[in-house]
Copies of this chain bind each other. A is one copy, B any other.
Amino acid sequence: MVTLAEVAQHAGVSASTVSYVLSGKRSISAGTRQRVEQSIRELGYHPNAGARALAGKRSNIIALMIPLRTDLYVPVMMEIAIAVATTARTHGYDVLLLTGEEGPDAVRRVTGSGLADAMILMDVELEDERLPLLRGTDQPSVLIGLPADTGGLTCVDLDWSATGALCGEHLAGLGHRDIAVIGEAPAVYERHTGFAERTLDGLRSAARETGVRLLHRPCEGGYDAMALTLARVFDERPGTTGFVVQNESAVEPLLALLRQQGRAVPEDVSVVAICPDQVAVQASVRLTSVAIPAQEMGRRAVERLVAKLDGRGGDEVVLLAPELTRRASSGPAPAAD
């Protein structure tokens, strides 16, 4: 293993000079810098992370807490995680992967041990038990998702309420008067993850303003569950012509079932999905959708965090504006009989 001292000796300078060449924290003559950099390359020197963390009081590591469950938005979670990792590297940080399993203990362990300089929490619930710990520490953190009380916290999330409103307005604008909302599994609502409720709020207020009727039904996803849900919807509201789907694993089953029932999309029924673009494009009908900007969320979270670590900027709630892309699944409501 090559040490800084060896590099120093090889370059004929002192250890501190090598350190400063590396950190750029004081000016170095061109010649010295050259020789040091040369030695570093020749010897294949890599600074020891532990020693750095100990002496420098920062590990250059960001902890990322991902949810343990794999029932919800897995590709989105993955995309966020990847975006976090790549963006973090861009700023000189590595990413430590924590699962929700340890729960609040993980927060204590990481803050206490100096393993990470800061953390990003995903899958935040409205009354998340990790929040008191975060508020009680001086370690910077960013949440992806919005808890009920955002006081003293930095959060990044899609503006779900605006997303719901956007979907509602789109369908209302096309003349639909009866809209069904196919939501996530009931467990998601029970968990109080926030985004589901917020989307619904947005939809409701849009419905109110446009005079549209809304029927909300959580759905486990999968073909059978969707079949049941769909039957109930048409039973209760036979005049339904618009669907908003916020459940990846219900999208394709819904389309298949509508087809099977002889309801054409978008001639008879319009469908708007809230899902990753990839899903919207690969579906059997190209779906009008609001995308979940996973990459953007990961990137923004890291950027906020780095800003905090650099002493720039404080707490802030960043809500990303939703964008609706019109594709083949939505059109004018059919003329009433």
Contact = CB atoms under 8 A, between A and B. Distances in A.
Interface of A: 1-2, 44-54, 59, 61, 64, 66, 68, 70, 74-75, 77-79, 81-82, 85-86, 89, 94-99, 101-102, 108-109, 111-115, 221-223, 249, 252-253, 256, 259-260, 281-285
Given A94-B115, A249-B282, 7 more contacts: A44-B112, A46-B112, A61-B96, A74-B74, A74-B78, A77-B78, A223-B284
A226 B223 CA distance: 20
Nearest to A108: B46
Given A95-B96, A97-B96, A114 B48 contact: yes
A77 B75 CA distance: 10
A7 to B, nearest CB: 13
Contact of A53 (B53, B81, B82, B281): B53
Given A44-B112, A94-B96, A223-B284, A59 B49 contact: yes
Contacts of A252: 252, 256, 284
Nearest to A111: B46
22 contacts: A46-B108, A46-B112, A46-B113, A47-B113, A48-B113, A48-B114, A49-B53, A49-B59, A74-B74, A74-B78, A82-B99, A85-B98, A86-B99, A86-B101, A94-B97, A95-B97, A252-B252, A253-B282, A256-B256, A256-B259, A256-B284, A259-B260
A40 to B, nearest CB: 11
Given A48-B54, A284-B223, A70 B64 contact: no
Given A86-B101, A283-B223, A114 B249 contact: no
A281 B49 contact: no
A221 B252 CA distance: 14
B86 A75 contact: no
B70 A59 contact: no
